[in-house]
Amino acid sequence: MPLAVGTGVVVIVVAAAVVAVVLIVALSMRGRQTRGAQLRSDARRDLEQAHERAAEAERDREAAQQAIAQQTDETES
């Protein structure tokens, strides 16, 4: 009888260890997915900001070219 009790305890401990390992692995994978989603979100936001800066720079360039053209027209007149 004592051998059966000892075997039962070993089986319970091993089962608990397996469950703990599975939980740790599952949580680790979920954390990795969350970090990946955050990185994609950050990259998307950075890309949108870069597009906004590029559009603003284009508008500034066009405004500067128009100002130069107006100055040239005024000096020629």
| Per-residue pLDDT tens digits of the chain, which is 77 residues long | 566 668 889 999 999 999 999 999 999 998 888 888 888 999 999 999 999 999 999 999 999 999 998 888 777 76
Parent domain of 72 = 1-77
Give CA separation, 41 vs 31, 44, 47, in Å.
15, 5, 10
Taking phi over 0 as left and psi of -120 to 50 as alpha, with beta for the rest, 20 belongs to: alpha
Q: How far apart are alpha carbons 34 and 41 in whole angstroms?
A: 11
pLDDT at 7: 86
Provide the domain count of the chain: 1
pLDDT at 33: 86
pLDDT at 6: 83
